Structure 1
Amino acid sequence: MDYFSCCFPTLISSLVLLLLASYKGCVLAATFTFVNKCDHTVWPGILANAGSPKLDSTGFELPQDSSRSFIAPTGWSGRFWARTGCNFDESGAGLCSTGDCGSGQVECNGSGAAPPATLAEFTLGSGGQDFYDVSLVDGYNLPMVVEGSGGSGMCASTGCISDLNIQCPQELRVGEGDACKSACEAFGSPEYCCSGAFNTPATCKPSVYSEMFKTACPKSYSYAYDDATSTFTCSGADYTVTFCPSSPSQKASSYSTPTTEGTTTSQGLGTGSGLEYTGTGSGTEYGAGSGTGAGTEYVGGSGTGAGGETMLADGSWLAGLAMGDSYKTTPPALQSALMAFTTTVVLIFALLHL
């Protein structure tokens, strides 16, 4: 009995730690790996949405043919982009010609990208399902592809492989073709910004400019209400964000359109797969939602996601656990882990009592 009293809590603690470490989908969430295949250095920027913790860096230098990884916790949401044409001195002070975050430093320190910039946006769902997209709503500065690995569900690759700077119309062009503005950024008109009388999916339609973006990059957001073919889901995956992919991988070149069956649209809220679109961009409202920063944000809506997993209204299986309805809402991988853990504890308890 003394051995049991002394060692049983330690054994249980060790098992709990092993369980948590092994189930990265609920504890460590996702590893983001940034890869630079451009023929020049880029300086990725990272902006966490309100309520999400900062990652290990908010901005860093990424030389050609190099990579860097970060771990993001469950529930994290935010965006990534690449700054180009940067000039930083030895103290880390400087500016970038595209995607500059206005901090005057390599670290963005909570500031977002100045448009135009290609954005990768993520919400790591605590209900087991992640949502992600690549957005051109705030324009484009370089090609970018997002690929998931080790996850379950659709987990389709998305992004923009085309060089839009080459085909950018003169009225949207930045400098000598360094970047390509969105029509909203260039003209500020409500019909291009989906604002004012054009702030609903019914009144804000694709423009000739957004259709040009969509044709070149069919899996990227081209304007505010471009949800149906631009939002992707995956569960328990790690993600690779590649800047200037030299050529599409087999996975990236065989994009599959997200399932939109059952998708509904309500006034002011372009929805898809149980999501509500509340994005804004560059201080100009895109749609009737709220929030700040470029691109899109997602807030928890109830319903069945594109990956086929049912989520609670608050996006959390933990609420179901507290209410005694956990088995229906707990992610399948965690169900198995919990069952294995329970069995292990029972066996250890029995052995210690022999």
Structure 2
Amino acid sequence: MLTITSWKELSITLLFCALISHSFASTFTITNNCPYTIWPGTLSGSSSPQLSTTGFQLNAGQSIRIPSVTGWSGRIWARTGCIFDESGVGSCQTGDCGGKLECDGLGATPPASLFEITLGTGDTKDFYDVSIVDGYNLPMVATPQGVPGGCNATGCVSNLNMGCPKELQVVGGDGGGNVVACKSACEAFGLDQYCCAGEFANPTTCRPSFYSSIFKRACPRAYSYAYDDGTSTFTCKASDYAIIFCPMNGVKRPNGGERTPIEESKMEKFPGMTSSSNILLPFPMLIGLLTVYISINKSTA
């Protein structure tokens, strides 16, 4: 027979377990599937603590798991063409964060493809997206893991650098004339109509532009301009988010390597990647490929 003391102990144990379950936080598994080294960076929102690392080197084929805390909000992106000295000071061709290996509270210098997330607390769901509002430097996909029934993957698998309009192109400084990133129209021209500023600072007056429409056609699930919420924000409650750069492993090296770029026509092979404000369709072929890729990596880890 349980005594009053044992009931108290049981209650405390149950309360502790409940607190643990409600303070559950996801992890971010970041994978470099590009045929070259990248330098991912992380930036926490104003009310969130910094993650255990804010910038690091990730060689081709490598993965890293970064734990978060409940309610964490922030961004994750990848830098390319970086050179750092032994003290972690240097520069990157794209996505630079103040010329440091550890970004330490500094965000990505546009243009850069961004994974953005706010983790829910308790039973509140997570909100996440992939944004190219600030321009684009690498293809990336974010896939929630450990969710019964699954959640929507999102991202941009196209190599936008290949079809980037000349006026938006960022050309590398290696003398090869290679396009290493694609600016947003806001950054390129600084006009309110492209930046959703001034009289255009609301969803009624700020509409998709010619340039954001190019991005949207190539990457239907990614944010293409500031008010592109209907087809670009997703919710889930996942134990892990797999963030894969160069998910199709077909991106040309920034220094002019021999990899075949991802052609925009390949988007036709992903029938679920269509824009809709009313229904969020999975991209079945991509999820299948990612599932196989992740399971293989887990089995070899």
Give the TM-score taking structure 1 as reference length. 0.66
What's the counterpart of residue 228 of structure 1?
Answer: 230
**Retained in 2: the 8 A contact 1:152–1:236?**
no
State the secondary structure of the residue aligned to 2:138.
Answer: coil
- Residue 204 of structure 1, aligned match among 203, 206, 209: 206
Question: Gapped runs of 5+ residues in structure 1?
Answer: 263-305, 307-354
- Residue 171 of structure 1, aligned match among 153, 167, 170: 167
Number of aligned pairs?
A: 255
State the secondary structure of the residue aligned to 2:162.
Answer: helix
Mapping of residues 63-212 of structure 1, within 5 Å: 63-102=59-98, 104-126=99-121, 127-151=123-147, 155-175=151-171, 176-212=178-214
Change (3 A) 1:61 1:112: same
Quote how far apart the aligned CAs of 1:28 are.
2.7
Change (3 A) 1:237 1:192: same
- In angstroms, what is the RMSD of aligned CA positions? 2.6
Between the aligned partners of 1:234 and 1:257, the Cα distance in structure 2 is 20
Between the aligned partners of 1:154 and 1:257, the Cα distance in structure 2 is 19
Give the TM-score taking structure 2 as reference length. 0.77
Between the aligned partners of 2:10 and 2:57, the Cα distance in structure 1 is 43
What's the counterpart of residue 40 of structure 1?
Answer: 36
Question: Gapped runs of 5+ residues in structure 2?
Answer: 172-177, 251-268, 281-301
**Retained in 2: the 8 A contact 1:232–1:258?**
no
Mapping of residues 186-335 of structure 1, within 5 Å: 186-246=188-248, 253=270, 255=272
Quote how far apart the aligned CAs of 1:4 are.
5.1
**Retained in 2: the 8 A contact 1:152–1:234?**
no
State the secondary structure of the residue aligned to 2:59.
Answer: coil
Quote how far apart the aligned CAs of 1:75 are.
1.2
**Retained in 2: the 8 A contact 1:79–1:121?**
yes
State the secondary structure of the residue aligned to 1:184.
Answer: helix
State the secondary structure of the residue aligned to 2:186.
Answer: helix
Quote how far apart the aligned CAs of 1:27 are.
1.4
**Retained in 2: the 8 A contact 1:158–1:255?**
no
1:5-32 C-alpha deviation (Å, 9 max, x unpaired): 77665555555445555x3xx3132111
Quote how far apart the aligned CAs of 1:240 are.
0.7
Change (3 A) 1:94 1:9: farther
Instruction: Give the counterpart letter for 2:101 in structure 1.
Output: V
**Retained in 2: the 8 A contact 1:151–1:236?**
yes
Larger radius of gyration: 1
1:80-112 C-alpha deviation (Å, 9 max, x unpaired): 10011000112221111100011x321001000
Instruction: Give the counterpart letter for 2:234 in structure 1.
Output: F
Quote how far apart the aligned CAs of 1:130 are.
0.6
